[in-house]
Structure 1
Amino acid sequence: MTAVMIQGAGSNVGKSLLVAGLCRAARRRGLRVAPFKPQNMSNNAAVTLEGGEIGRAQALQALACGLDPTCHMNPVLLKPESDQGAQVIVQGRRLTTTRAGDYAALKPRLLGAVLESFRSLSAAHDLVIVEGAGSPAEVNLRAHDIANMGFARAAEVPVILAGDIDRGGVIAQMVGTRAVLDPGDAAQIRGFVINKFRGDPRLFDDGYDLIAHSTGWPGYGVLPWFAEAYRLPAEDALDLPARSAGSGLKVVCLALSRIANFDDLDPLAQEPGVALQMLAPGSALPGDADLVILPGSKSTRGDLDFLRAQGWDIDLAAHVRRGGHVLGLCGGFQMLGQQIHDPEGLEGPPGSVAGLGLLQVETVMRPDKRLARVNALHAATGLPLSGYEIHLGRSTGPDCARPFAHVAGTPEGAISACGRITGSYLHGLFADDAFRAAYLRGLGATASGQSYGAGVERVLDDLAAHLEAHLDVAGILALAR
């Protein structure tokens, strides 16, 4: 098995971006390379060709490799549904929902699936680049670990430890990690990199040498801040900017507590004629908003309660009275309806709750999750668009007679009688350039004409070049065995 693993000295140190850049760099060297993350925790999921789901970061890394994403690239995905519980997805399919305290008991069962997926990828590729989760310094979670050192040692994969200097305290991060690891885990680490440096990297020479001397690990470079990272799909809601740099059409997205698949917004955020704002909890909906987006949610009824707690239901009603437009995507679509029924308690206690009443539809939660990539026709323009569905509920009602789109000839979504309130289960629709331009035109805005997909590819190439210029990429890849 030829593989190398990037672990972090903390959460959000840039592991996903480092793996994506290394994947693209390896591909440019002619290697058949694939990404792998044993365990991920994210509500931002991608749908694979097999009809399963994996973390969005692994889908981006697959793109960097020139591959379609598969379930084996992220065999365990945890999707938080509350502060204490999460849905457990194994090789693309829901296994169970478990409380955080009970998850440890599942891990021994999951390691077999993780190693099976890793071996499947290894057999089909020259190189697998693995991403850890959180930090190996969380030694309180070491027993039965499948995300970091537990996997690395079981699969005999060498590790590079990444530290984030932008947050400060990177020397303590790296040296402290070495201090708390047991000798076997520490020996699995073959070197380190420093990420997100702003300014002249030579100013950190003494600190770099101190880390190497104190840990015994060789350094593989200091990576300056990569300014174009915001142009790549973000997986963590913490990475969402408060607002885009555009101006013109004012689009406001409600930052729900369990927001999911929020990369739907990335193409809009990069349109110079769109001013996209993520509305933080406790903030009032701006009175001059042109379009309000209710995004996807991992807990539709829970986030509907959260929305009401912010007073956003009152703000939305006023926005509609002023003639504003509303777009609900997936869970946001369900919230716009009259009722949400969850008779089996799939997203909490069984029961029903009143929706926002802005669409004449009702939703029933069902255990057969819809997971599919789809090609559709936009009902208003006849334009083709592509996207994906990932949801439990089924929505029906009078407004479905005015569909948003047609999928394989079947009506999809709903539009209100006034034409200003739209709901759809389709994710990823704004990545389609022609559709995005037509949709914005319908709201009185002009799209830039840029290709979103081509822009992502360009940034991945630039990221690989950035890594090649500042890190010992050849040395990192040479560690793989």
Structure 2
Amino acid sequence: MTNCQTIMIQGTTSDAGKTTLVAGLCRLFADKQVKVAPFKPQNMALNSAVTPCGGEIGRAQALQAKAARVALSVDFNPILLKPNSDTGAQVIVHGKALSNMEAESYHDYKKVAMQAVLHSHKKLKENYQLIVVEGAGSPAEVNLREGDIANMGFAEAVDCPVIIVADIDKGGVFAQLVGTLMLLSQSEQDRVIGFVINRFRGDISLLEPGLEWLERKTNKPVLGVLPYLHGLDISSEDALTTSQSYDKANTKVEIVVLVYPHMSNHTDFDILRHHPHINCQFLFAKNEKTKVSIPACDLIILPGSKNVRSDLAFLYARGWHQDIARHLRYGGKLIGICGGYQMLGQVIHDPHAIEGQAGSSKGLGYFPIETELASEKTLVNAAGTMMLGEAKSEVSGYEIHAGVTQLLTNTLAEDKPSAMLTLGGEEQGFVSNDQQIAGCYLHGLFDNPSALQLLISWLGLKTNIQPSLDSLEEEAIERVSHACEQYLAIDKLTAMLQSWR
């Protein structure tokens, strides 16, 4: 390829396989010595990553950048929406939080957002040979068509070809593809160069009559049928999965992660789910009438949150604070990460209505700390040392938080907990003096094998098994890339790209 080409992957539904297909294509073309970049104009997700320049992008684009073997850039995801209520979200433009907006206000803001999107796309065109774009949801959401920047609105603005992917495993794949195409305008239909069917299992000969019918009906080629890749556990964009990647017959440690409505960065726990001796489960409680008690376990984790005070109220309403207290009385352990760390303190203040209504909330009271939410976010990649018990290990990760947490000024020296981390020469987070409770702001702290080993030792388990998340992600990317090379018409796709317009 010479001049920069752009190809967009759109889906008939959410979770059709857009993220995975983009990652696979990025790796495939990178292996062909094509300088390729991932791109998602607008992403709505609570899983995010920090770029080297201190910006924030969707975690899916970080995975796709890894597939493309390029450093993270805010231009890979110029608009990131992080929901903090059922109707509102924090709007992040070029890696920096702009403001909180309700859905109606953001709809009016889309014209401005589109300029940010086009600016990033232009910058990428100047530095790459191929841009593989991921759409959002479905292009056939007729209520969202006006001012669209996430799907066909973007494709029309930059005049790029589109591939539509559908998940056959859910059923109704031909209705999905034909229906989606028919709901597009004529100019949008014209830029669809073909279909990809994802997650097929079975005898392909039984599907071929349907493929032939689809091509006759739409006058569009099927560019490939990707198989169902069993055991594939590539980082999801936002959906939680409770599936395990290993046989858990040898479980020795039980971990429960509490799920609240605005839980963020659940990818923190991917590595725990992969460990053959750890059973890490997510505990859901979907409504106030349903009392779901925390089961007996070795460790309870309070994850991050995009609306900490609201999620803390959710925790109290379900009686989980009582379950946590009982868990600690019986000798169990507790860790809070980011928003979960803030919950471990005495009080959380939000005087400027950063995450919701202004006010203060009583914390769980396990640490003598208080947190005040500030308008300026902390966005940084960090590395250092983690201390649990008498042992230490290397640790690395990233911080994404609006809170400033401080030790209460009246804390007596004998009541002060010890530091959990040392990052850049500065102490952060705490471990209780009885070694039952820990908390810090660092996301991804268990992705480092030695840090994971320290956690396991802290929980009383002796094992030399140390799965590496980096290796697991790399293996998943390679599997998807090889499937794309084997089952997609890559030469035909490349020719269509080079001859576009």
Normalised by the length of structure 1, the TM-score is 0.96
Q: Residue 73 of structure 2 is aligned with which of 59, 70, 73?
A: 70
Moved more, 339-348 or 241-250: 241-250
Q: Residue 482 of structure 2 is aligned with which of 462, 465, 468?
A: 465
**Structure-2 separation of matches of 1:478 and 1:332:** 50
1:197, CA displacement in angstroms?
A: 1.2
Q: Residue 306 of structure 2 is aligned with which of 295, 298, 301?
A: 298
**Structure-2 separation of matches of 1:283 and 1:225:** 36
**Structure-2 separation of matches of 1:390 and 1:472:** 40
1:139, CA displacement in angstroms?
A: 2.3
**Structure-1 separation of matches of 2:358 and 2:253:** 40
Residue by residue, what CA displacement relative to the aligned partner does 1:249-275 show, whole Å, maximum 9, x if unpaired? 001001111110110001111000101
Residue by residue, what CA displacement relative to the aligned partner does 1:368-418 show, whole Å, maximum 9, x if unpaired? 100000112113434221110000001122576511101111110012222
**Structure-2 separation of matches of 1:327 and 1:336:** 9
**Structure-2 separation of matches of 1:402 and 1:369:** 25
- The 3-state SS of whatever aligns with 2:455 is helix
Rate the CA distance shift 1:120–1:452 in 2: closer, same or farther, 3 A: same
Moved more, 204-213 or 160-169: 204-213
User: Structure 1 stretches (4+) deviating beyond 6 angstroms?
Assistant: none
1:245, CA displacement in angstroms?
A: 4.5
Partner of 1:234: 236
**Structure-2 separation of matches of 1:108 and 1:284:** 44
Residue by residue, what CA displacement relative to the aligned partner does 1:29-73 show, whole Å, maximum 9, x if unpaired? 111111000000000000001101000000000000111211000
Q: Residue 313 of structure 1 is aligned with which of 321, 327, 331?
A: 321
Gaps of 5+ in 2: none
**Structure-2 separation of matches of 1:169 and 1:316:** 44
Asked if the contact 1:241–1:278 (Cα under 8 Å) also holds between the matched residues in 2, the reply is: no
Q: Residue 325 of structure 1 is aligned with which of 333, 351, 354?
A: 333
Partner of 2:456: 440
**Structure-2 separation of matches of 1:96 and 1:400:** 36
Partner of 1:389: 399
Residue identity opposite 1:355 in structure 2? G
Q: Kindly, what percent of the aligned residue pairs are identical?
A: 43
**Structure-2 separation of matches of 1:383 and 1:233:** 25
Residue identity opposite 1:383 in structure 2? S
Residue identity opposite 1:289 in structure 2? C
1:286, CA displacement in angstroms?
A: 4.5
Residue identity opposite 1:165 in structure 2? I
**Structure-1 separation of matches of 2:246 and 2:306:** 24
1:3 aligns with 2:3: no
Rate the CA distance shift 1:340–1:213 in 2: closer, same or farther, 3 A: same
Instruction: Please show how residues 400-415 of structure 1 align to structure 2 within 5 Å.
Output: 401-415=417-431
Rate the CA distance shift 1:285–1:250 in 2: closer, same or farther, 3 A: farther
Gaps of 5+ in 1: none
Rate the CA distance shift 1:101–1:273 in 2: closer, same or farther, 3 A: same
- The 3-state SS of whatever aligns with 2:178 is helix
Instruction: Please show how residues 22-171 of structure 1 align to structure 2 within 5 Å.
Output: 22-171=25-174
Asked if the contact 1:300–1:335 (Cα under 8 Å) also holds between the matched residues in 2, the reply is: yes
Partner of 2:491: 474
Asked if the contact 2:271–2:468 (Cα under 8 Å) also holds between the matched residues in 1, the reply is: no
Normalised by the length of structure 2, the TM-score is 0.93
1:250 aligns with 2:254: yes
Moved more, 210-219 or 244-253: 244-253
1:316, CA displacement in angstroms?
A: 0.6
Residue identity opposite 1:276 in structure 2? C
1:198, CA displacement in angstroms?
A: 2.1
Question: Over the residues paired in the alignment, what is the CA RMSD in angstroms?
Answer: 1.6
1:447, CA displacement in angstroms?
A: 4.8
Partner of 1:272: 276
Asked if the contact 2:300–2:335 (Cα under 8 Å) also holds between the matched residues in 1, the reply is: yes
Residue identity opposite 2:454 in structure 1? A
Asked if the contact 2:367–2:417 (Cα under 8 Å) also holds between the matched residues in 1, the reply is: no
**Structure-2 separation of matches of 1:10 and 1:234:** 15
- The 3-state SS of whatever aligns with 1:26 is helix
**Structure-2 separation of matches of 1:401 and 1:410:** 15
Moved more, 330-339 or 444-453: 444-453
- The 3-state SS of whatever aligns with 1:422 is strand
Residue identity opposite 1:431 in structure 2? D
Q: Residue 427 of structure 1 is aligned with which of 414, 421, 443?
A: 443
